[in-house]
Structure 1
Amino acid sequence: MAGPTVMQAAQGQHGAAAASNDGQSEQRSLIEFAVKAGETFASAYYAATDSPQRIGLIPTLYLPNSTIVWNGTPVSGKDELVQLLAAMPGSKHELQAFDAHPVGGGTENGVRRAPSVMITVTGVVTHHIPGSASTMAPTNAPKSAGGSSIKDLPLEALPRTFHQSFLLTPQPTHGTNAPVPDGGVNCATADGVWAARLFVQADNFRFIG
């Protein structure tokens, strides 16, 4: 049996190269979507967390079956999440490092499926309890003058470094006809190729300093 001709071999190589380029282009597009989604979500999430209305805002970003761990303590369901939010003092979050990347997603049999998005955040949070660093008026008075200093404050009143990771998933999931739930964050690439409403599937928060 005769082998492939030079022309056929060249066509095969060209087809493989085109498929590779398409795959790389799609991967770049998925990364663009993940970064856009991460920025949109982080902005919405921490603004809501620092808002006096957070009890009504934060739960709308989660699914009913979301897995939540807050500083080593499991939080089961939205009811416990609301209880946690109600028990926490007001806060101010300042983000220092941020990363986002796609998990899964892509085109299969001509159908585009938006990816899940993994987000990691590192920052500093100050809780507004009486006497906290965030409520102290700036002063140049020496300690001997009787004023308090940050070093005198309890740990919970000091700015603390935290690390938080999220797994966002698009809803409804691919292949289902379930209605899109209320809440979440909408995200789309500039060209509109990838678009989805994303919800928190998993959330892990921990103080690291």
Structure 2
Amino acid sequence: MNALATSSVPGVAPSVSTPSFSKNDISIATRAADQFTRLYYTAYDAKTRLVDLPSFYRPGSSISWNGTHKQGVDGIRELIVNMPPTHHDVKSFDCHPIPGGTSPPSLLLTVSGNVLHGHGPPSKDRGTVEGHARVFHQTFMLIPDQEATSHLAGEVGKYYIIADAFRFVG
């Protein structure tokens, strides 16, 4: 439900209003999600991910990776430094602008797909993800990067991750 309850008079039931988004906000969300998803998972799967992936985050960013919580750029590095190589196969994503009046809008992006950890055949150790494809779901809250956002009409600006929640779901 996209309704916001508002009332300025004590004792009076709040009225319900629906936030409206312009066609431009929807277009920005769609294009930004497509661009972000391709860039993010390419960086994640690259041999240079220890350098590349943290650039998507800021010191105030938070991540929850399958129940492990980390904060900021250093936390992201700490999380990925010991991970085996990955290959993500994104199956779907969905993105919505977040009400709040920023232009471009902040975005809520959900992504699902499969991820393979490691180089070789599946490990016989059932306690590891090495070599086993897993279904994942990831949710991002993306904030416009005001220092890097494009000011050209029709061009998608840059976003950074303020919140990231990753979970194996299969």
TM-score scaled by length of structure 1: 0.64
RMSD over aligned CA atoms reads 2.5
Q: Could you list the per-position Cα deviations for residues 76-113 of structure 1 after superposition, in whole angstroms to 9, with x for gaps in the alignment?
A: 2211211211110001000111101111255xxxxx72
Which of the pair has more CA radius of gyration? 1
CA distance in 1, matches of 2:80, 2:40: 13
**Could you tell me whether the CA contact under 8 Å between 1:34 and 1:102 is conserved in 2?**
yes
- Matching residue within 37, 41, 46 for 1:46: 41
Q: Which residue of 1 aligns with 2:134?
A: 160
Q: Which residue of 1 aligns with 2:113?
A: 123
* Unpaired stretches in structure 1, ≥5 consecutive residues: 1-22, 107-111, 134-151, 173-179
CA distance in 2, matches of 1:96, 1:103: 23
Q: Which residue of 1 aligns with 2:164?
A: 203
Show the 5 A alignment for 1:70-149. Answer: 70-104=65-99, 113-132=103-122
The 4+ residue runs of structure 1 with deviation greater than 3 A are 152-155
* Unpaired stretches in structure 2, ≥5 consecutive residues: 1-18
Which structure dedicates a bigger proportion of its chain to helix?
1
SS of the residue 1:99 aligns to: strand
TM-score scaled by length of structure 2: 0.78
Amino acid at match of 1:119: L
CA distance in 2, matches of 1:203, 1:105: 19
- Residue 171 of structure 1: how far off its partner (Å): 2.2
Amino acid at match of 2:41: Y
Alignment: residue pair count: 150
Of structures 1 and 2, the one scoring higher in RCO (CA 8 A, sep 6+) is 1
Q: Which residue of 1 aligns with 2:15?
A: none
Q: Which residue of 1 aligns with 2:10?
A: none
**Could you tell me whether the CA contact under 8 Å between 1:30 and 1:194 is conserved in 2?**
no
**Could you tell me whether the CA contact under 8 Å between 1:100 and 1:118 is conserved in 2?**
yes
Show the 5 A alignment for 1:28-67. Answer: 28-67=23-62
CA distance in 1, matches of 2:34, 2:53: 16
Amino acid at match of 1:48: A
SS of the residue 2:158 aligns to: strand
Q: Could you list the per-position Cα deviations for residues 62-86 of structure 1 after superposition, in whole angstroms to 9, with x for gaps in the alignment?
A: 1110011110111122112112111
CA distance in 2, matches of 1:105, 1:194: 21
